[in-house]
């Protein structure tokens, strides 16, 4: 079972516990781009009770847009779910998956009671994040078919029952026994719309995942659902601005970033990257991170001279939603399971696009020419030195 001892609950808890009310309001405005207290949703008491019994922190947030004359509001509710492992990493694979499925059913039920239209899990949510161990068994046994595996079958039924689009990030085993880091998009009809795969594979610290799966060949698909156009930028892809940009160019209104990352490596980046993406690409960006410390049976190293160890470090949760106007929701806990329910008005995407004009001023042909040159081995950077400046007579 994940261990989260002696970790700070959240940035929000530190602010609220230590700042006087007036200073808190100003700090909140500067940090989150919105007023304090945050704008929350009214949800049924039954949802709150179910989350409490299931030991799931339930938070809500509301993003608004200006009223338009010709377009009605396009309000959509999304649910981001972060979780620890219910069982120890050395529990049998079938038992781990069953425990996670049981937890997922509770989270989705709570989300449904809150009116969630689109629900997304964290990266490879049906297994421990075992990719640093470099061990094949038992971890490759966690891989399953994106179309016919037990997790997709379960979620197809839940999606149809709750009229909810569900994004299912799993370790995929395809028909040729090739593994992929994948996210299956299941329609609210219960049918599979398609899948996205991880475009960028990390080679940093313990995250040497390239020994398990390859980079995607599927590009940057955007899935048209009843509740808006969505993209999935899996984990490490959030460090690549062009990866985010391509989902925007393909028309995404909401981009989910299911992740698994630890505090010692990436926490200073976490609150910035999805927010930057939302601003630059005029869409909502949803950052989801797993939570807890996963301890493995055998020690492993990263070839960095540090002692062998049995865990990656603390997965710090802190899932949040960022809007195209630069505002963002508070984050979920750094130490507990959590469900963030956010209501978005998708009209805000075009309103911000019209205000800032980034799409109109982005100069795609110029960048395309430069990147084409930069992709070649003989590329010479455009650097001008003092000795090369024209002489002034």
Catalytic residues: 123, 198, 235
Closest by CA position to 187, among listed 166, 207, 203: 166
Q: How many whole angstroms separate alpha carbon 51 and alpha carbon 292? A: 18
Closest by CA position to 185, among listed 107, 256, 277: 256
Q: How many whole angstroms separate alpha carbon 250 and alpha carbon 140? A: 33
Cα 102 versus chain centre, distance? 22
- Please return the burial class of 58, using the count of CB atoms within 10 Å of its CB with bins 0-12, 13-18 and 19+: buried
> 3-class DSSP state for residue 341?
strand
Q: Strands of 75-82's sheet, edge to edge?
A: 57-62, 338-345, 75-82, 118-120, 165-173, 179-186, 192-197
Q: How many whole angstroms separate alpha carbon 315 and alpha carbon 335? A: 8
Query: Are the C-beta atoms of 205 and 302 separated by less than 8 Å?
Result: yes
Distances (CA, A) of 73 to 43, 60, 116, 188: 20, 19, 17, 21
> 3-class DSSP state for residue 189?
coil
- Please return the burial class of 138, using the count of CB atoms within 10 Å of its CB with bins 0-12, 13-18 and 19+: middle
- Please return the burial class of 39, using the count of CB atoms within 10 Å of its CB with bins 0-12, 13-18 and 19+: middle
The residues facing 340 across adjacent strands are 59, 80
């Amino acid at each position: 079972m994940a261990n989260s001892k002696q970790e700070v609950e959240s940035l929000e808890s530190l602010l609220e516990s230590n700042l006087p009310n007036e200073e808190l309001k100003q700090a909140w405005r500067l940090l989150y781009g919105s007023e304090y207290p945050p704008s929350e949703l009214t949800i049924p008491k039954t949802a709150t009770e179910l989350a409490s019994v299931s030991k799931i922190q339930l938070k809500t947030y509301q993003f608004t847009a200006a009223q338009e004359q010709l377009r009605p509001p396009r309000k959509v509710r999304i649910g981001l779910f972060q979780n620890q492992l219910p069982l120890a990493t050395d529990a049998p694979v079938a038992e781990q998956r069953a425990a996670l499925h049981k937890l997922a059913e509770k989270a989705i039920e709570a989300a449904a009671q809150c009116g969630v239209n689109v629900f997304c899990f964290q990266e490879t949510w049906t297994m421990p994040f075992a990719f640093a161990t470099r061990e094949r068994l038992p971890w490759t046994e966690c891989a399953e078919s994106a179309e016919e595996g037990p997790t997709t079958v379960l979620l197809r039924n839940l999606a149809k029952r709750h009229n909810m689009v569900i994004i299912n990030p799993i370790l995929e085993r395809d028909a040729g026994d090739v593994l992929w880091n994948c996210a299956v998009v299941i329609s609210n009809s219960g049918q599979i719309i398609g899948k996205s795969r991880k475009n960028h594979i990390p080679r940093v610290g313990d995250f040497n995942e390239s020994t398990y799966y390859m980079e995607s060949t599927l590009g940057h698909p955007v899935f048209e659902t009843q509740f808006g156009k969505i993209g999935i930028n899996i984990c490490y892809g959030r460090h690549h601005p062009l990866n985010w940009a391509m989902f925007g160019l393909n028309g995404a209104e909401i981009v989910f970033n299911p992740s698994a990352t630890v505090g010692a490596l990436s926490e200073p980046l976490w609150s910035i990257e999805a927010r930057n993406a939302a601003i630059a690409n005029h869409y909502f960006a949803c950052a989801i991170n797993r939570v807890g410390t996963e301890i493995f049976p055998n020690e492993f190293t990263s070839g960095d001279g540090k002692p062998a160890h049995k865990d990656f470090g603390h997965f710090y949760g802190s899932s949040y939603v960022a809007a195209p106007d630069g505002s963002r929701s508070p984050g979920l806990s750094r130490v507990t399971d959590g469900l963030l329910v956010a209501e978005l008005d998708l009209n805000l995407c075009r309103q911000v696009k019209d205000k800032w004009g980034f799409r109109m001023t982005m100069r795609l042909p110029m960048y395309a020419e430069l990147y084409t040159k930069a992709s070649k081995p003989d590329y010479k950077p455009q650097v001008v030195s003092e000795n090369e400046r024209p002489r002034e007579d």
